[in-house]
Amino acid sequence: MDKNDMFRRELVDVHGVPLFWTIAEEWSKIEGFEARPDDLLISTYPKSGTTWVSEILDLIYNNGDAEKCKRDVIFNRVPFMELIMPGYVNGIEQLEALESPRLVKTHLPVELLPSSLWKNDCKMIYVARNAKDVAVSYYHFYRMSKMHPEPGTWEEFLETFMAGKVSFGSWYDHVKGWWEKKKDYRILYLFYEDMKEDPKRELLKILKFLEKDLPEEIVNKILYHTSFAIMKENPATNYTVKTGEEMDHSISPFMRKGISGDWKNQFTVAQYERFEKHYNQQMEGTTLKFRAEI
Ligand code: PPS
């Protein structure tokens, strides 16, 4: 397919959730994904720490062997389940070819998750990040990654984000949906801000959830290799192998800033006030609470 036909297209709704157009076209294949009981699902709304927690998990699965974790790029070690782009990638086929135990990445909201993942009672790790930092990170990602429609200005993008008209839909529905599912399934719900504040504490939570013990020395090694500075320089995690028609790192690198509270550099006071009002309406009644800075 001509790259001009593939990229910068309008999103297509699947059961009311806007998705990349080829994901919508291939939806029946994604719905039919066959989970295995020992799959570990890494679920996130985009730009919430997916790559970070994926690298942590691959290192855990490989007992902290950083060289082994450079065997391939992160999106081949932890395939993005629903990403089917003919001629580029097919997450379902990638996963079928992987040996167990598999690490599976998804950005799907709970209502769109293939049923076999629930039926097999797979363990799931969800990472959530505060909405304002996600909006900023997503805006810069829209600019550099051409599988998204053009973002427009920041002001325009922020409106699109608040309306849930971005790829994978409403942040509010996503984080609340997964929070509710936690009551009935084996879901470890983590926060990006907690990982920034105390990465060791959060890594130990992950190990407990996986019922895995690692010596202190390996834990420290994993923390070192998953710091932002190291992951930014690692070609197996920084997405720099994706270039040109897919991603333009000269517009904004995939590993951009890796901090909490960057929204303060992006939001005007008026945008902040409007956002907070809308946020409080959207998040009313939930026990889910976020920190917008640490
Ligand atoms: S994606 O495309 O949805 O899978 O992106 P995702 O990996 O979820 O999110 C990318 C943001 O996470 C930051 N990042 C990190 N922060 C801290 N530590 C580490 N190790 C780390 N790795 C990635 C990355 O920089 C993006 O955030 P921003 O705010 O844009 O810098």
Looking at residue 255, what is its pLDDT? 98
Please indicate whether residue 225 is annotated as part of the active site. no
Looking at residue 244, what is its pLDDT? 81
Closest CA to 59 of 264, 254, 256, 199: 199
DSSP 80: B
> Domain map of the chain by residue range?
3-282
Structure tokens at 136: 């900023």
**Which residues of the chain, if any, have pLDDT below 70?**
1, 3
Looking at residue 91, what is its pLDDT? 98
DSSP E strand boundaries for the chain: 12-14, 17-19, 40-44, 84-85, 89-90, 103-106, 123-128, 187-191
The closest residue, in CA terms, to atom 15 on ligand 1 is 258
| Ligand 1 pocket mutation, candidates 48, 50, 51, criterion most atoms within 8 A of CB | 51
Q: How far is the CA of 231 from the centre of ligand 1 (A)?
A: 10
Q: How far apart are CA 233 and CA 210, in angstroms?
A: 28
Summarised one tens digit per residue, pLDDT across range 191-212 is: 999 999 999 999 999 999 999 9
Q: How far apart are CA 44 and CA 129, in angstroms?
A: 9
Q: How far apart are CA 29 and CA 204, in angstroms?
A: 36
Q: How far is the CA of 119 from the centre of ligand 1 (A)?
A: 30
Residue 130 beta carbon below 6 angstroms from any ligand 1 atom: no
Catalytic residue among 107, 148, 174, 225: 107
Residue 143 beta carbon below 6 angstroms from any ligand 1 atom: no
The number of residues in the chain equals: 294
CATH of the structural domain 3-282, one choice from 3.40.50.300, 3.40.190.10, 3.60.40.10, 3.90.1150.10: 3.40.50.300
Residue 160 beta carbon below 6 angstroms from any ligand 1 atom: no
Q: Which atom of ligand 1 is nearest to the CA of 232?
A: 22
Looking at residue 3, what is its pLDDT? 66
Closest CA to 210 of 15, 33, 58: 58
Residue 22 beta carbon below 6 angstroms from any ligand 1 atom: no
Q: Residue 99's CB: how many other CB atoms inside 10 A?
A: 5
